[in-house]
Chains A and B, each alone.
Chain A
Amino acid sequence: IQKFSGKPVDWDELEESLIRADLGVPMMTRIMTALQGREDAEKLTAETVVKVAREEIIKVLPRDSVTLRPLASKTKVILVVGVNGTGKTTSTAKLAYFLQRKGHSVMLAAADTFRAAAIEQLGVWAERLNIDIVKGQYNSDPAALCYEAYQSADRKNVEFLICDTAGRLHTKTNLMGELGKVKRVLAKADAQAPHETLLVVDATTGGNALQQAKEFHAATGLTGVIVTKLDGSGKGGCVVAIQNELGIPTRFIGTGEKMEDLAFFESRQFVEQML
């Protein structure tokens, strides 16, 4: 906001800020039109323009973020999905820590049986968190592993089972189909499982994030988004478009590589750091 203070309304500069936040051209156009269509558009000060722009974005975002509550008598399954390298494994560990701190029992499933050392990576986190982890062999079926993990979690009355999956580009039909199978097989154990399917999106991503969300939503039915790497210079505006076009809310934000670097998504705070 400091950037704008003391200056006359500069629409170009506002447009630039909106684009820079990776809000995308359609979202940017919508906000610009809303602002310029106001009766007092010409009288707005630079500060008000930013304030109003923020309000326009906040309107799109959900008022409250839905928290993760355990089920009464069953294990709640959280499936973590996304394209390569967004931060799924790290976010799985962070989520476990987040739930653990709230006094919940958590188990992990190392269902990325594909990427080199993916199992070891989650294994290191499980050790740090002192948490149970179900591991399989490399190249084994991730669906079978998730099923086995569910059985184990259920037997031990664990409240949350978080399944880390392999990164896959949303354009690869066979790999997206594999995720569909994970869901189907989990549903054999509990018709409602997975109870949450969270898409991990990198805040650095541009327009492609919306396409990612569309395809993962079609394949798995997403219940939320985790936006990571907000500690970098990426503003994560892509999640606004995901909310706006697909109605999928962002639930958590990742702000670093450590296990405590995860927080609930707060619309106002998010928009204020974005613009």
Chain B
Amino acid sequence: MFSLLADKLQDVFKDLRGHGKITETNITDAMRAVRMALLEADVEFNVAKGFIARVKEKALGEEVLRGVHPGQQIVKIFHDELTALLGGDNEPLNLEKPARIMMVGLNGAGKTTSSAKLAMWLKKQGKAPLLIACDLHRPAAIEQLATLARQVGVPCFTPPPGEKDVLKVGRLAADWAKEQPGNVQIYDTAGRQEIDEPLIQEIKALREFLQPQEVLLVADAATGQQAVSVATHFHQALNITGLVLTKLDGDARGGAALSMRQVTQRPIKFAGIGEKLDQFEPFFPDRLAGRILGM
């Protein structure tokens, strides 16, 4: 992913490097090209605009223009801004007791799979994760999580058949967890659209009851311009603590990740890189910024 953006930026910067002296016109032209590249990479309209404005402002600063290699300096500004936007270091999970993690997001984003992957990852870190099925909505969602839990080899809470009250399930699960030999609880929730007010209220109530240490917004790397709306709405309702970016094994340009990061100011904590349960890793922003620029 990001390869198209990387290619485009390479071209733009090669052009810019070619100029001994950088003028405002050079920069404006270059930034127009970068803006288009960002939009093509699915960075949200206003996020792209703001990003370009910041890079341009810094690039037009006196030191850059009078410097020896202005082109290279602009590449550096770009890289720094991008890294800053994606977040500096990988941010670990907050596993303070009772160490509850809630997985939330749009329909089909990868919540259930990522819940199981996270359990496997935590298990490898020496933790004792518990999986908790709170999707009472999608056909066979509970069975899906229970199957994955068996594959990972961790206990799984399954709600009473036919139960439709997610708060009640949350309460039962929290009680169940107390009796289990586990120290991290992962709650898988039903997918929902961020503008579906009743469903957003439902998950908000669950969040208020559980008081989780982590609320992770799971998002598909191929998300388009909706990214900002998704992130903003989920964040407003749930005060998310981080993001999980899925399906990075494809060729999606992934600009949505930048947008979500920008509007929530929350770190991308994990990346999903395949359908298998071990295809999951902590997210390293600096590596990604480098990859975008091909550096």
Contact = CB atoms under 8 A, between A and B. Distances in A.
Interface residues of B, number: 43
A9 interface: no
B224 A22 contact: yes
Contacts of B220: 85, 202, 204-205
Given A85-B109, A115-B275, A171-B251, A206 B222 contact: yes
B194 A121 contact: no
A223 to B, nearest CB: 23
Interface size of A as a range? 35 or more
Given A85-B109, A121-B140, A257-B137, A207 B42 contact: yes
A244 to B, nearest CB: 16
Interface string A223-260: 00000010111110110000000000000000001000
B115 to A, nearest CB: 12
A123 interface: yes
B147 A207 contact: no
B226 A234 contact: yes
Interface in A39-97: 83-87
Contacts of A85: 107-110, 220, 247
B146 to A, nearest CB: 8
B132 to A, nearest CB: 16
Nearest to A138: B147
Interface of B is mostly: loop
Interface string B218-230: 0010111110011
Contact of A206 (B140, B193, B224): B224
Interface string B240-268: 00000001011111011000000000000
Given A171-B251, A206-B253, 20 more contacts: A19-B225, A21-B225, A22-B224, A24-B40, A85-B247, A87-B108, A116-B147, A121-B138, A121-B140, A169-B249, A205-B220, A205-B222, A206-B42, A206-B225, A206-B252, A206-B256, A207-B224, A208-B253, A209-B222, A229-B106
